[in-house]
Amino acid sequence: MTDKPKRPQQVYTLVVQVGRKAGDGLPKKATGAALMVYASGVDEDEAVRETVAILKQADMAPLDVTGYGTLPEREAQGHEIAEEERALMDKALAENAVIVAEVTPFFD
């Protein structure tokens, strides 16, 4: 019986659109929000699953997730990535965590 090699964790940049739910912590008149998230996972699917699960635990209502890839993938696409962003990505990887870096509420 051979052990499968363990795939390394990577950090993925995700944007999650959320709707309204009681107790979600969004501003009173907001209709929803976009969350910029850094999430660790062995692949993007795992990072998305973990992110959605954690947001649901936090009384948020995830509607849609868009993946922007790993740091090397984003750099290859020409994205400029600030040091603060890199620090949050490093923290997500070190702590095997989901970090919400930015919340942008939507208003009608």
pTM score, two decimals? 0.90
Query: In the numeric block, which tokens belong to residue 36?
Result: 């910029």
Cβ neighbours around 19 below 10 Å, total: 15
Domain edges within the chain: 10-106
Tens-digit pLDDT string for the chain (108 aa): 556 677 889 999 999 999 999 999 999 999 999 999 999 999 999 999 999 999 999 999 999 999 999 999 999 999 999 999 999 999 999 999 999 999 999 998
Strands 98-106 and 10-19: unpaired
Distances (CA, A) of 45 to 20, 25, 83, 93: 24, 26, 26, 16
Please give the Cα distance from 43 to 38 (Å, whole number): 13
Please give the Cα distance from 30 to 58 (Å, whole number): 17
Nearest partner of 26 among 3, 58, 2, judged by Cα: 58
